[in-house]
Each structure stands twice: as C-alpha cells, then as structure tokens.
Amino acid sequence: MVKSKEFRFMYDDLSDRLMIASKRKDEVIQGSIRVLNLILDFTSSGRIANIEVLQVSRYLESLGINSEILNNLTNAEITVQQQRDGYLIYFVLQAGQKIERIPFNIITKPVESVIRN
C-alpha cells in the first residue's frame, strides 16, 4: 500500500479493486457494509475508515473517466459528506498532475420517500 498524508491506497489490477484506508492506529473497525460495488469499514465511533471499490475500472468508465489513471496513482483520498437523504462520497484520485474526483451517492431514505419528493 502506498501512503499519502493520512490515507493509504492500493489498486489491484488483477481483481480490479481500489482500496483507500484512513484507519488510525488507535481506532477499531466495528463493522462493514457493502453497497453495490462499494465496501465501507466503520470504526467504533461511526467514522468511515476504509473504502474498497470493486470493479473500479468499470465504474470509472461508466462515468466517462479513463480507467488508466488507476495504473499510475500517486495519491488517493476519500471525502464523505452527509446529505439530507444519505451520503455523498468522493474518491479523489491523482496520477501526476491529473486529478479526478469521482462521486458515489448512498441514499439512506426508503426509495418510495425519495421518489415522492
């Protein structure tokens, strides 16, 4: 794993997985949840500490982003913003001077209530 600031990251091209970790030494992983192609690890305080994106190159291509950035990563970070209806997670990927900000929305409200609004 490569380290950058508080984040460590690794892209495994054989399994097409991107892992971004920010777990601190004093934190304990309490549990994980899988949402589509995303696995989130939570600490005992409820903070998202690690993220794993499965089939990440396919996900990037579906957004119109060239997945070659994964093979040349020099930095990767995550930001999480709590929204009214869930969470907006951004993966910030950097390869040299090229930076891509990739969104991933998680809606926590029941689908029926989101559709009605």
pTM for the structure as a whole: 0.80
State the average pLDDT over residues 12-38: 90
**Ranked by mean pLDDT, which of 31-45, 78-92, 96-110 comes out on top?**
31-45
Residue whose entry in the numeric block shows the structure tokens 């899988």: 34
State the average pLDDT over residues 57-84: 91
**pLDDT recorded at residue 81:** 84
**pLDDT recorded at residue 26:** 85
Judge whether residue 66 has pLDDT over 50.
Answer: yes
Listed in order, strand segments (DSSP E) in the chain are: 2-4, 7-12, 17-21, 29-35, 38-43, 48-54, 75-83, 86-95, 98-107
